[in-house]
Amino acid sequence: MDPTTTRYTWTYDEYARLPDDGNRYEIIDGEVLVTPSPSPMHQHILATLIIALRGCVERERLGVVLPDVDLLFAEGQFLRPDLLFVPNAARAGITTRGVEHAPGLVVEILSPSSGAIDRVKKPRRYRDFGVPEYWVVDPEERVVWVWRFAEGATEAERVEGRLEWRVEGAREGLVLSTKDLFLPM
């Protein structure tokens, strides 16, 4: 075995011991990814999304919306998205450690240091672990990149103007204006 290509497999206990220093730690394929604390604009967009998604989810009684929680797919794959939706059918996967089943939606908001991670590394992982839909919100370009894995998508759709989320079991989906999403603080 070539030691230069062999990756270390982290355990959850090792991951949980990473410092609580304001940075966000994630592990994908044995690689530790560190991003700094989010900017005020990032948090403003996150709050807007939480309000919109939560309103839809609670009105339709579809599940739960959770910000900034560990997503634990498999040993050595520990992610911490900005926001996720867990449908009622997967609620048993919410544990004291985090979410341990595939959520119905994962959302990341780009920061200057997270583009390659959020738009290149994570989509593959989320698809492999059965996440039906993944969004990357890009404040700089004022667009949302949407991967609809449940519909067979392998590439992201660039969404400007009208972002639609069609949730299984909902009478009506969520329609969100990207203009409203990127309103100044």
Domain count, the chain: 1
Examine residue 75 and state whether it is found in any structural domain, yes or no.
yes
What pLDDT is recorded for position 170?
82
Contact 93, 66 (CB under 8 A): no
Examine residue 74 and state whether it is found in any structural domain, yes or no.
yes
Examine residue 21 and state whether it is found in any structural domain, yes or no.
no
107: domain range? 38-181
Q: Beta 105-109 vs 63-67: how paired, if at all?
A: unpaired
Which residues touch 2 (CB under 8 Å, ≥6 apart)? none
Examine residue 31 and state whether it is found in any structural domain, yes or no.
no
What pLDDT is recorded for position 56?
93
Examine residue 164 and state whether it is found in any structural domain, yes or no.
yes
CA atoms within 13 Å, Cβ hemisphere of 178: 19
Q: How far apart are CA 32 and CA 41, in angstroms?
A: 25
Examine residue 33 and state whether it is found in any structural domain, yes or no.
no
Examine residue 76 and state whether it is found in any structural domain, yes or no.
yes
- CA neighbor of 39 nearest in space, from 106, 162, 137: 137
Q: How far apart are CA 121 and CA 146, in angstroms?
A: 15
Q: How far apart are CA 134 and CA 157, in angstroms?
A: 11
What pLDDT is recorded for position 73?
85
What pLDDT is recorded for position 1?
42
What pLDDT is recorded for position 5?
53
φ, ψ for residue 77, nearest 5 deg: -125, 90
Residue 174 sits in a domain of what CATH number?
3.90.1570.10
Count other Cβ atoms within 10 Å, centred on residue 56. 20
Q: How far apart are CA 5 and CA 42, in angstroms?
A: 35
DSSP state of 20: -
pLDDT digit string (tens) for the chain, length 185 residues:
444 455 788 999 999 999 989 889 999 988 999 988 889 999 999 999 999 999 999 998 999 999 999 999 888 889 999 999 999 999 999 999 999 999 999 999 998 888 889 999 999 999 999 999 999 999 999 999 999 999 999 999 999 999 999 888 888 889 999 999 998 87
Examine residue 144 and state whether it is found in any structural domain, yes or no.
yes
